Structure 1
Amino acid sequence: MRRIRKTRSKDGKFRFSRSRFISLIILISVCAFSAWFFYEALYTQATDDWFESQAGISDRVSLPKDDAPHQAAMEWWYYNGHLSSESGKEFSFHYTVFLINNVIHHMVSHASLNDHQTGRHYKAQRRTAGNPSSNKENSFEFIQGDWHMMGGNGNDKLKIITDKFSLDLGLTNTQPPALHGGNGIIPLKDAGDSYYYSRTRMNAAGVIKIGDKTEKVTGISWFDHQWGEFLVGLLKWEWFSLQLDDGADVMIYQLRDKETNEPILYSGSISKHGKTETLLAKDFEVIPGKKWISNQSNIAYPTEWVINIPSKNINLSVKSINESNEFDAMLTTYNIYWEGAIKVQGSHTGQGFMELYYMDKMH
């Protein structure tokens, strides 16, 4: 490396030459700008940009190969579940890992646990630079300190440890995966297209801990894996996963334009005994009822809905178990959404989960 030239002045002191001094200032400025750019990209990216990528779909979903991570701009692995303890207590949880591969690669995890006895909603989130997933064939493994999500081919493990709650579960699939859209590809209209499949009934067993109280639990979990090149930031949505007591499992989503609130796409799937059928907009209706308004965000979330699927003689009333289930993810994914367990009544009974993403005030 060349030395920076110094010259001796008449007073005997060493000084940088003018040209070297200017070069040093430019170098410092470039380094400072680079540091600022990477900070902005990693920590202050706007919601739309955080989700942004371009559509590109070619093949149908192939399992267990597609359990593993892909070279997609956006990808997530998502679980929800209903759990019962040996003492008869009821709980529900959700745990999601997002991989984002844009200018900066990073991983985000969201987790929550609901105590149905007390109505307490425990939440936690983490963000890690880079991609800490392991390159394993036909499987996935994500480790963020003492948070673990790993599995493949329907044999999975989840572990979350926080200062307020902990969860350690093993999950086993009980029936064939549901490939949404018929081949595992769903259209998102102007937002692009997405690969998407679910394991709709996974037996869950393990332990949860709230405070200093540990409970052995069993239950049923739902797993989603979705990836592709799409623009989720353009959309609002309502999403439902329903596990009916007669063995049918239903996934329904409604997409709307984020700016105009106009409907873009209604679609879904119904699975039973290993057979999955695609539901189009004409096949069902989803009607909002009572709303809960968040004191924090002032967003109004419908927490009661009517879901009708006439061709299947399904007429359901779904209701949140805990209305106060808003998840403030501004620290990690720069958004706010509602995620929680629901009760299912009507022509069929069962349980499920609901996700509502609006990000602005609804009236």
Structure 2
Amino acid sequence: MSDSTGGRSTGSVSPLFQPLRVRSVTLANRVVMSPMTRSYSIDGVPGPDVADYYRRRAEGGTGLIVTEGVAIDHPTAVDSPNVPRLHGDSALAGWRTVIDQVHAAGGKIIPQLWHVGPLWGAMGTVDPAAKPMRPSGVWGTPGITSYGDAYVARAQEPTDPMTDEDIDSVIAAYARSATNAMEVGFDGIAIHGGHGYLLDSFLWAGTNHRDDRWGGDLERRTHFPAEVVRAIRAAIGEDAPIVYRFSQHKQQDYTARIAQTPDELGVILGALVDAGVDVLDASIRRFDAPAFEGSDLSLAGWAKRLTGVTTMAVGSVGIGKSLRDSRLEGSAPTVDNIAELERRIGSEEFDLIAIGRLHLADPGLAGTLRAAGPLPAFDRARHEGALY
């Protein structure tokens, strides 16, 4: 859907600006604000600055806002006091303000429910008596990672595996937090199930060494994340959509994979869809990177081919380096890859595109894309350093 010169499309001609309905929610376009941890919710409570931050993206025309990861109602869900939570009167009141402002601006917003699982302690000092939630008590085999040596060494110390009681408690916490989200007015639910965090750690053989119903072969490793989805669907009913983020890579090792083949990926994603997922959010470092040898199909493309449900891609839109590489190497150059993005959405390889860093650089990014204007330059020091 590019113009005759091979450039970007504008306005309603662009596949980025076609509406999309998922259950009871209609999105005005395919542009999604990707979840990005900001840590400005003091003591877990989103304040007026957080509400302003999200409202500006809604005013800018973004079709769907997925919030930063939000701690579920569990003691070791998130290890930073400034990550927002979805429990407690003050936090829920703060979210009501955020939602009211986004809705007043014509936007849609869903929270990304988060439990860090094995990565407890990566964001800050934690109570040494607290029990991290790890399927088998292991952090995972370290590989290519952006974590420092000191943290990795500490994290390698084994802990007690999760008990059945721990598992039941976490599932209930997800359901409570999803219920809270719908009661304060969110439009649906997103779940962080990638990057080596808790749900992903059950899928990854590097962290799940169990031989009970929660581990063993690949099918059994899907049971815990599928049960979380099933509990959330039961809690929120049939109208609201559920978005599930999954990934091959892990924070522990960027080369790790949960699926070596499309068939293995189909086992995982099929279980999630059967449990109630509506949108599969395929998290990769470049939205157009081939997922498996022998095909140029992206991870989001494979997810759609294997399941038939709505899928969302993410990764390095408008930017020439992945987030990890830009953090390690410095600045990330602007690269106009929007025509390729439009081509893939226009061919129905995937349906939605989640954009992170450019949404930090330009709250009005959706309008910029609609007008085929110059892409904003992302400055990490400026745009990650404050709410804007």
Mark yes or no: TM-score above 0.5. no
Write 1 or 2 for the structure with the bigger share of strand.
Answer: 1
Choose between structure 1 and 2 for higher RCO, CA contacts under 8 A separated by at least 6 residues: 2
TM-score (norm: length of structure 2): 0.26
Bigger Rg, which one: 1
TM-score (norm: length of structure 1): 0.28
